[in-house]
Structure 1
Amino acid sequence: MTQPQDLTWLLSNLVNQVPHTRSALLLSTDAIPRFYYGLDRDEADKLASLASPLCSLVQEVGKCFGGRQGMRQANAELDDGTILAITAASAGSILTVLADSKVNAGVLSYEMQQLGKKVPNSLATPSRHSTPEES
């Protein structure tokens, strides 16, 4: 199995192209930081451990009340005005961005969706459990 290329440059482009965006993190759905920009390693680990269950929660809300399993994006505004945006990237990957309150949320959302389409499926974390169909 070949290792995927370093995608930090994609995250860097997102942060630098969307004004008032501070950092971006690409993580696996089981909270493993894969690539990050604008964060140190400890911050990336902490943000990954918080973003992964939040993404799962939003997906469950979608199943229960939206009729579908997918998630486009979840956004939260923190007390200090920081914007937290989370979106599913490729299968098994999550894109998380932190931005200032002055960010244009529509532009950020669009750019996150575009970046998500560029993330290779090779980043997906393999399932740890076999499904009934595999048995």
Structure 2
Amino acid sequence: MADDLTWLLRRLVDTVPHTRSALLLSSDGIPKFWHGLDNDGADTLAALASGLCSLAQQVGTRFSGGDGVRQVVSELGEVILLVTAASEGTVLTVLAGRDVDTGILSYEMGRLRTQVPAYLATPTRYRGAPGYAD
């Protein structure tokens, strides 16, 4: 499989009508692959999606004892934002228009996650750097 997973994101956007863009990012907000966004848009959405995923994780931990974020859906005027954990250390986020069928989009996002989980994982950053305190 190619190292560039942009084609998977393009396929997701093309498969579900009214889907605008898809972004795969590390859980700490670094964009890895995207389709339908320019570089600045990918950087901005990655930072925002990472924060939203982190917030949802904290709510789940505090109030439901949950183990991880399944999906966060936000309706924002004419845009719907879906954020989901893609695999360990990786987040998948999608922007779509209001007319999108969120059930189908959610299903396709889940399908993408289960098809290639090993390729979606973001390895843990090296923690043994000099001067790094645990």
Q: TM-score, normalised by structure 1?
A: 0.87
Runs of 4+ with >4 A deviation: none
Identity %: 54
Q: Aligned Cα RMSD in Å?
A: 1.7
* Residue of structure 1 aligned with 2:67, choices 66, 69, 81: 69
SS at match of 1:120: helix
* 1:66 Cα deviation after fit: 1.7
Q: Is the CA contact 2:19–2:96 (under 8 Å) kept in the aligned structure 1? A: yes
Distance 1:115 1:122 in 2: 9
SS at match of 1:102: coil
Question: How much has 1:128 moved relative to structure 2?
Answer: 4.6
How far apart in 1 are the matches of 2:107 and 2:64? 21
Q: Displacement of 1:126 after TM fit? A: 1.4
Q: Distance in 1 between matches of 2:33 and 2:119?
A: 14
> Which segments of 5 or more consecutive residues in structure 1 lack a partner in the other structure?
none
Q: Tell me the residue number matched to 2:34.
A: 36
- Among 50, 57, 60, the alignment partner of 2:58 is 60
The residue that corresponds to 2:101 in the other structure is: 104
What residue in structure 2 maps to residue 11 of structure 1?
9
- Residues 86 and 120 in structure 2, CA contact (< 8 A), matched pair in contact too: no
Are 2:110 and 1:113 equivalent residues in the alignment? yes
User: Which stretches in structure 2 are left out of the alignment for 5+ residues?
Assistant: 129-133
Q: In the comparison of the two structures, how many residue pairs are matched? A: 127
**Aligned AA for 2:103?**
G
- Distance in structure 2 (CA, Å) of the matches to 1:54 and 1:86: 8
The answer to whether 1:83 aligns with 2:83 is: no
